[in-house]
Amino acid sequence: MEVLTEEKIMLECRNLKKAYPTPKGDFVVLEGFNLEVKEKEFVSIIGHSGCGKSTLLTMIAGLNDISKGSVLVSDAPIEGAGPDRAVVFQSPSLFPWMTALENVLIGVKQVFPHATTNQRNEICKYYLSKVGLADSFNKKARDLSQGMKQRVGIARAFALKPKVLLLDEPFGMLDSMTRVELQDVLIDVWSKEKITAIMVTHDVDEAIFLSDRVIMMTSGPYAKVGDVAHIKLERPRERKTVIEHPDFYKYRQHLLTFLDH
């Protein structure tokens, strides 16, 4: 019945382990973690603070060493960080001395080394317009508001045309109004690009609204997958119809019950 099952696996975590050595022996954040993410699937990972979900994401990104196990993208093990796994960081992490355009451009240059300057500019402008910054190309990143910075962060990630998009609590630092706005922006851009995405969050509504599947992680140490919810709401989604959908509360209940433990 599910169409998705026929599609190929884009990202796979095999028996992942993360341990930090301490004088009293290893502190194991995460052990025996398995995950398969299909192409064009949007997966959210939800769990309590400190359960190791951000650690997991940075390991997939290649920014954090893997203690044991492996991460495969298109069946090939990852080697360090790379633009095939674009990251939207929690703090936008823009270079404040560059303009919005330059911040996107610096990545695009790496990914499309043979494109002309004009083509690169067009790519950047396209994505910046998509996230609603059509009239802020040349504003310095330091002069942008937090919400606008994260818009640039989203544009920068999509402009890399990554195989996998990694979102590390992308809206965690925003106020609730801006968060809702940016969720709409994200789902808008994502619907067009359908890039395989993994998002870490602790916002239940956000997870349901954006994902095809929500992975619930048990609290660490020794965190692993506790439960999985398949969100079968039709796409493209709109906030209003999602909230009014009878299943929405069912999913919500499911997630909240898990998190209550």
Contact residues: another protein, CB under 8 A: 61-63, 80-83, 85-87, 89, 91, 93, 95-98, 106-107, 110, 140, 142-143, 160
Q: What 8-state DSSP symbol labels residue 132?
A: T
**89 contacts: CB under 8 Å, gap ≥ 6:** 153, 168, 170
Q: Are strands 213-217 and 42-46 parallel, antiparallel or unpaired?
A: parallel
* Least Å from the CB of residue 173 to another protein: 12
- Nearest distance in Å: CB 112, another protein: 12
User: What's the alpha-carbon Rg for the chain, to the nearest Å?
Assistant: 18
Letter string b/e over residues 114-136, b meaning 16 or more CB atoms within 10 A of that residue's CB: eeeeeebbebbbebbebbbbeeb
* The one-letter amino acid at 212: D
Shortest approach of another protein to residue 211 CB, angstroms? 22
Contacts of 73 (CB under 8 A, 6+ apart): 10, 11, 84, 85, 163, 164
Shortest distance in whole angstroms from residue 2 CB to another protein:
32
Return the number of the residue (19 or 98) whose C-beta is nearest another protein. Answer: 98
Q: 77 or 96: whose CB is closer to another protein? A: 96
Cβ closer to another protein: 104 or 204?
A: 104
Place of tokens 């299909």: 38
Q: How far is the CB of 141 from another protein (least distance, A)?
A: 9
Nearer to another protein, 85 or 213 (CB): 85
Identify the CA nearest to 140 among candidates 202, 195, 95, 203. Answer: 95
Pick between residue 55 and residue 207 the one whose CB is nearest to another protein.
55
Looking at beta carbons only, is 21 or 80 nearer to another protein?
Answer: 80
Least distance in Å: CB of 255 to another protein?
29
